Structure 1
Amino acid sequence: MQPTGGTNETQENCDAVVVGAGFSGLYMLHRLRDTLGLKTRVFDVADDVGGTWYWNRYPGARCDSESYFYSFSDRLSEELLQEWTWTERFAAQPEILSYLQHVAERFDLYEDIRFRTQVVAAEYDEAAGRWTVRTGDGGRVTATYLITAVGCLSTTNLPDFPGRDAFGGPWYHTGLWPHEGVDFTGQTVAVIGTGATGVQAIPEIAKQAAHVYVLQRTPNYDIAGGNRPMTADDGRAIKDNYREIWQTTRETGFGFPYRTAERTALSVSDEERHQIYAEAWQRGGFRIGTTFNDLLMDEDANETAAEFLRARIREQVHDSDVAELLSPRDHPFFTKRPPLENGYYETFNRDNVTLVDVRRAPIQEITATGVRTAEAEYEVDTIVYATGFDAMTGTLFKLGIRGRQGIGLQEKWADGPSSYLGVTANGFPNLFMITGPQSPSVLTNMPVAIEQHVDWITDCLRYLRDRGLDTIEPLPAAEQDWVDHHNEVTETTLLPRANSWWVGANIPGKPRRLYPYVGGLDIYRQICEQVANRDYDGFALGSCGAATSGDFAGVARATFDEIVAAAAT
């Protein structure tokens, strides 16, 4: 079935509304409809499924988890795992989008998705115990359950540079790339930003453009990706071992099918440590982050990895001054998202690429002909903004969610998110946020985190149905307990040391908090399971808005501490 648009219906009644049709929305729709038999409507503003992989079509866009585990697991379909064969170790955007379209077609998901439809408001009716969801085409849908599947990186961040609208040439944001592509042949291009999208796009743009000015504020610890075509032998080995692969992903902190070594960085000799890093670097991907178990907690340990990575930059970049500009010195390794690079550093050896340090000489304005910094003006034909996203909360706030007494989610979170398990919030009954703030989300392999949330929500709704209940809401004490736990775990790490989008530092005025949970997906999974096993401890459960159970008296907090302590041993 091909994607369809909105129907401008004035009223529709459902069991559940899901917002978003990427990995999260597709799997959630499948579980709600085919597992629980719930009438479900999915809304997405795009023309097709895909989520981030529908919008992010910039040159070089690809996943940085290996493709064979950046996908749905056997929880969706063992047959699909055997049917689908990935062509690259790290799949590019077109292949991931094709995969998600295949999933939607194979499981007949298109029929329940309304595309080109923007949710503009979602309001909880306390008397009816239902959500009313309003769309931009004038439609209105009511549902018992509202589930957001909008992704963590889906609202673009376009800095408000003075004169930005005065530029006379074309400009693009990597998160909203034209579907027809962009031809940079013969052009002079300014790329603003050197985060993950910039690291992927810059090498590809440089192959076409006459000249590229790369405007860098903060260098990153970019890790060798080691992308290559998948061979037939790769495919056989993976498909023969998928059951074990997925089991391991669910038992690791990062959701990878390989574990963090049980050793500290300073417990081995300098020579052995260098060899361990070198082997991980050679294998590519995020393995270097799992070589020792204290890299995010001990500054001296972290510096050993940081210096190893800076040495790799010096090896690859011929100009020593440029290499130093590309070498991070102001934050520990992995306290900002470390992009995977495939030819990024070598790009700066090209004669048509110039690195501009906008930390030393900040951007003053965008002019009619280019970009002016404190030191020079760069005349360009095109500007590419690789400036990232209003992560974690930006898209949630755009949905206009209002809970009890008309209080908005954005109002509740004015000083930063407060949730229970990162999936629910007090004052918002029957609202579930897939990979929401204060859940592992972006600090893990996303599909594994998504499946954990969707499966937990599915089991929760089955529990309610089996007991004749239809309302669930976290109690204030449970929510505060989770926030306290989240903050305590955060403070044991080095992550607050960096001005990253993980802490909201890229958005002016955004509360500075660590938005994802850093305790690990394995620990988080156990916590969620314990909450469910204790009859959804910390939640008020009821029917038609009247709470009937779920008293909370500090039990959930003890659960958190017990699980963390058990995992540590």
Structure 2
Amino acid sequence: MESEYTLQVIDLDALIVGAGFGGVYQLKNLLDLGYNVKLVESGKDFGGVWYWNRYPGARVDIPIPHYEFSDAKLWKHWTWKQRFPGSAELRAYFQFVADTWDIRDHCVFESYVNSAVWNAETSKWIVKIPGGVTYRATFFLPNTGFAAKRYIPDWKGIASFKGIWIHPSFWPAEGIDLKDKRIAVIGTGSSGVQLTQELAPLASEFVLFQRTPNLALPMKQQEFDKGTQTVPKERYPDLFAGRKSSFGGIDYSFATQKTFDHNPEERRAVYETLWAHGDFHFWLAAYGDMLFSDEANTEAYDFWRDKVCARLDSPRLRDKFAPTVKPHAFGCKRVSLENGFYELFNRSNVQLVDMNETPVVEIIPNGIRTSEKEWDFDIVVCATGFDAVTGGMLDMNIVGRGGIKLRDFWSDGVKTNLGMCVPQFPNMFFTYGPQAPTALCNGPSCAELQGDWIVDALEHIRKNNYKSIDASEEASKAWAEGVAAIANMSLLPTTRSWYMGDNIPGKRRECLIYLGGVPNYYKILEECAASNYEGFVLA
């Protein structure tokens, strides 16, 4: 598909990057409005993160029908098989979306942005793609998401390993023979938990290398038969409309009560109800002060700890997975969902290595050497995550007004307005990026909420014959200060996490997520548009 554009300069109204929820939604809406628009995607097909995440156990942690588009043309004719669909079903859903919306002919796959440079004379973005392709676009719309750039620690000896060494997002479509193999998983984020649940039962020996325990919650997966779904489809319009009033863009929010408004018996009853529901209720439908008061947070952690300890046979495992004193503020690292994860470690062939006690020294031809011993493995899965939130954007070599590089512009701290645009980078809007609700917002909700605002802004520019829109320095400074102020009222900065940029050596430590919740964010966006885009310079 790419060859037909080789050595061409192609003029566009808009160039979209990324074929996940955000990019696909923008493509459909801009096409409906008659824009000349293309979407480029490094993968071979639609799906975004779900195109790449093919590892065993990969699945979404937001239940359907929240994790899908709100277009009735889609949900009236699509039925899910599980409450939490796996990556294969999500890829099938994206195929259905692409066919229903008829967007395939406007996509260029197996392509990525080498550079994107703003040309002030023409008020266009000059975007170079491998193979000699150049796009000249009025609007540049990255939708790279928060997990576009993999991170693998620079351990000595990785190239010497004779077995299979793989990051989960590079899992081959044809799969890997796992039966009776000696397998290691390094990392206890969501991928590490999901991989453990699938690989440990297959392995002759399985070892999980943990630095920080994952304070995971029970998923409570459901299988659907004969078209049944969690929510009757006649309720879908109200459910989708309600996304804007929920903290996380789903259908529930933090309670108005505070933890110690209830006595111990009442409090335990609340915790038990949230726990029994499964998914993120114990996290995002909990008491309103849980993420702000250390005492309240500890109360929630202690309940969580006791639930988990009851599932583990060994005192050592209880101490490593659910220590008496909480290892960090509950809910201030990305919470994962699990199905039988903890019980697996009661098996004789499943072991846990604490990398704080016995760090990885080097990778050797036959496995991993820690400070304590050598471990032999056939397969090592390096589930060490991503340069989250900013990594994908910075990888595109974006250059704004006056030759300023985005990497340099953000070197002393991320600067955006509304978490969607950057001063000195006109006509560039992004979704699911830094200083927006992003990782604390349901992906499809964010894609539609931000996508609608961006499309409306583009229409405002087109109808009023402007050439450019640029975030003001003053508005961006105020937005960054507001994001930091909300974060500093919470327990988030007390915890090392990728929310704060802590997982990448040398990365600046700052809160990358807007913690004000979807309702406040949506209100701010509406007010900005209603005030003729106050905080932006239109020219």
The TM tier, using the shorter chain, reads over 0.9
- Deviation for aligned residue 1:258: 1.9
2:65–2:230: 8 Å Cα contact kept in structure 1? no
Over residues 482-524 of structure 1, what are the superposed CA-to-partner deviations in whole Å (9 max), with x where a residue is unaligned? 1111111111110011110111111000000111111111111
1:189–1:380: 8 Å Cα contact kept in structure 2? yes
2:65–2:231: 8 Å Cα contact kept in structure 1? no
1:58-457 correspondence to structure 2 within 5 Å = 58-73=55-70, 77-231=71-225, 234-235=228-229, 237-289=231-283, 290-327=285-322, 329-457=326-454
1:6–1:114: 8 Å Cα contact kept in structure 2? no
Match of 1:19 in 2: 17
| Counterpart check, 1:29 vs 2:27 | yes
Query: Aligned partners of 2:275 and 2:243: how far apart in 1?
Result: 21
- Deviation for aligned residue 1:234: 4.5
2:239 maps to amino acid: I
2:291 maps to amino acid: L
User: Match for 1:498 among 495, 498, 515?
Assistant: 495
Q: Summarize the Cα distance change of 1:383–1:237 in structure 2 as closer, same or farther, 3 Å threshold.
A: closer
Query: Aligned partners of 1:141 and 1:454: how far apart in 2?
Result: 22
1:320 maps to amino acid: P
Query: What's the C-alpha RMSD, in Å, of the aligned pairs?
Result: 1.2
- Deviation for aligned residue 1:232: 5.1
Over residues 54-86 of structure 1, what are the superposed CA-to-partner deviations in whole Å (9 max), with x where a residue is unaligned? 00111100000002111111xxx2131111111
1:12 maps to amino acid: I
- Deviation for aligned residue 1:231: 4.5
TM-score under structure 1 length normalisation: 0.92
3-state SS, counterpart of residue 257 of structure 1: coil
2:108 maps to amino acid: R
Moved over 4 A (4+): 231-234
1:468 maps to amino acid: N
- Deviation for aligned residue 1:9: 4.4
2:401 maps to amino acid: R
Over residues 3-31 of structure 1, what are the superposed CA-to-partner deviations in whole Å (9 max), with x where a residue is unaligned? x4453242100000001111111101011
- Deviation for aligned residue 1:99: 0.3
Over residues 289-324 of structure 1, what are the superposed CA-to-partner deviations in whole Å (9 max), with x where a residue is unaligned? 212111110111111111111111111111121122
Over residues 531-551 of structure 1, what are the superposed CA-to-partner deviations in whole Å (9 max), with x where a residue is unaligned? 111000010001xxxxxxxxx
Query: Aligned partners of 2:412 and 2:373: how far apart in 1?
Result: 39
1:46–1:54: 8 Å Cα contact kept in structure 2? yes
Percent identical:
36
TM-score under structure 2 length normalisation: 0.97
Over residues 109-133 of structure 1, what are the superposed CA-to-partner deviations in whole Å (9 max), with x where a residue is unaligned? 1100001112100000001000000
Over residues 443-476 of structure 1, what are the superposed CA-to-partner deviations in whole Å (9 max), with x where a residue is unaligned? 1111101111100001111111221213100111
Match of 1:561 in 2: none
Query: Aligned partners of 1:437 and 1:221: how far apart in 2?
Result: 24
Q: Summarize the Cα distance change of 1:151–1:133 in structure 2 as closer, same or farther, 3 Å threshold.
A: same
2:24 maps to amino acid: L
Query: Aligned partners of 1:228 and 1:81: how far apart in 2?
Result: 19
Query: Aligned partners of 1:93 and 1:410: how far apart in 2?
Result: 32
- Uncovered stretches (5+) of structure 1, i.e. residues with no partner: 543-569
2:297 maps to amino acid: N
1:5–1:47: 8 Å Cα contact kept in structure 2? no
3-state SS, counterpart of residue 459 of structure 2: helix
| Counterpart check, 1:466 vs 2:463 | yes
1:315 maps to amino acid: A
Query: Aligned partners of 2:3 and 2:109: how far apart in 1?
Result: 6
- Deviation for aligned residue 1:331: 0.6
Query: Aligned partners of 1:79 and 1:369: how far apart in 2?
Result: 53
2:316 maps to amino acid: D
3-state SS, counterpart of residue 378 of structure 1: strand
1:495-534 correspondence to structure 2 within 5 Å = 495-534=492-531
1:419 maps to amino acid: T
- Deviation for aligned residue 1:236: 7.8
| Counterpart check, 1:45 vs 2:42 | yes
2:496 maps to amino acid: N
- Uncovered stretches (5+) of structure 2, i.e. residues with no partner: none
Query: Aligned partners of 1:368 and 1:87: how far apart in 2?
Result: 42
Query: Aligned partners of 2:191 and 2:19: how far apart in 1?
Result: 22
Match of 1:56 in 2: 53
3-state SS, counterpart of residue 534 of structure 2: coil
